[in-house]
Amino acid sequence: MALSISIVTKCEPCMEWHLDQALQAGAKDEEIYETIDVAIEMGGGQAGAYARFVLKALEYFKAKNK
């Protein structure tokens, strides 16, 4: 849920850190998407815009860890 809070507070370094930590802990894509959904529900349109950063970072981390 720290990732969700990071999205709502618009902290890109926090989003990157918490996403990386979640992936290292074994979070699956579906769990990341659910976290993004919670952030958008709580943060509205601005959170939706910042969620794109998380999706790009998710692509980056997946490519990096192949």
Select from 1.10.3720.10, 1.10.10.10, 1.20.1290.10, 3.30.360.10 the CATH code of 2-64: 1.20.1290.10
Categorize the per-residue pLDDT at 37 as very low, low, confident or very high, splitting at 50, 70 and 90.
Answer: very high
| pLDDT tens digits for range 12-35 | 999 999 999 999 999 999 999 999
For the chain, the structural domain boundaries read 2-64
Nearest in space to 8 (alpha carbons), one of 37, 34, 46? 46
What does the buried/exposed string (b/e) look like for 12-30 if buried means 16 or more CB atoms within 10 Å of the residue's CB? eeebbebbbebbeeebeee
3-state SS track over 21-33: HHHHCCCCHHHHH
Classify 1 as helix, strand or coil: coil
Distance CA 30, CA 11 (A): 22
